[in-house]
Amino acid sequence: MWSNFFLQQQEEEGRGGMAALGGLGSKTGRGGKRSRPPRMSDSQEGKIKLSLFIAVIGVTLTVLGMGTEFWVELSQPKHFRNNQTCEMAHYGLWKSCVRTLWVSDIDPESETCGPAELHGESNCTYFKFYTSGENAVIFRKTTEKSLHMATAMLALFSLFLMVMGAVCITMSLSKSVSFFLKPATICFILSGVLLWLSLVVFHQSVLGFLASDHTIPLHHELSWSVACVGSAGAILVFAGFMFLLLSLPNNPLEKCFRQQSSTDA
């Protein structure tokens, strides 16, 4: 009797050991290697590509805004020179332009010279404080070199983060895993915030530029390059949150869509 009991116990232990080895093998796979993470579905890849397209729009607007010199327009009074012409200026991160316009081409109701789209002579020069450290003087007013350079550095670092985020998304799509979505989220959201911060610093530099000399009255207005950079910041932050939602194991958007479809049914 005791021999039969021990034989049954050995058989049960053998079965349990085989089951444990089978479970371990299912986790580690052949050769003791761990199983790969689950691959993304086609619908999730499509959503990631759509979010990437939105982020590319933000990157394009950033490059457009950074490369143009219409961040701010400075306009003299239309009859300041008591002549048939008047002067205005506009500048961006890298260079400034002074334009001479005909008073007859300006709107009669306008009291200032401009806008910059009117036909006239233009003289553009690159800022020298990136090379020789010299300040720029426009209409006897001196630019704030430190704040202007800080604006450019923030914008360039933001552009670098956009490139890193795009690399993360490309790797995620090529490997078909969602691991790289969270680093891309950080890159895109931080790049958008840095763009907004660069606009704040630039506006402070413009105010310091206007306060450097009061002999020539000037009307200043932020132009369309700033609008491009501000819109790019909003688009990049939105794309970053989209990548964050797609990186979560249980996507809240899919739950909302499922609940809405069940209630409609």
- pTM of the entire predicted model: 0.78
pLDDT at 235 over 60: yes
Instruction: Find all residues with CB under 8 Å of 213, minimum gap 6, and list them.
Output: 139, 140, 141, 142
92, part of any domain: yes
Total structural domains within the chain: 1
**Cα–Cα dist 137/150, whole Å:** 18
39-62 pLDDT, tens digit each: 667 778 888 899 999 999 999 999
Domain membership of residue 254 (yes or no) is: no
Residue 36: pLDDT over 90? no
Strand, helix or coil at 167? helix
CATH number, domain containing residue 182: 1.20.140.150
Q: Quick: pLDDT tens for 84-120.
A: 888 999 999 999 999 999 988 888 888 888 888 888 8
Q: Is residue 25 part of a domain?
A: no
pLDDT of residue 203 exceeding 90, the answer is yes
Give the range of the structural domain holding residue 60, as residue numbers without chain letter: 42-247
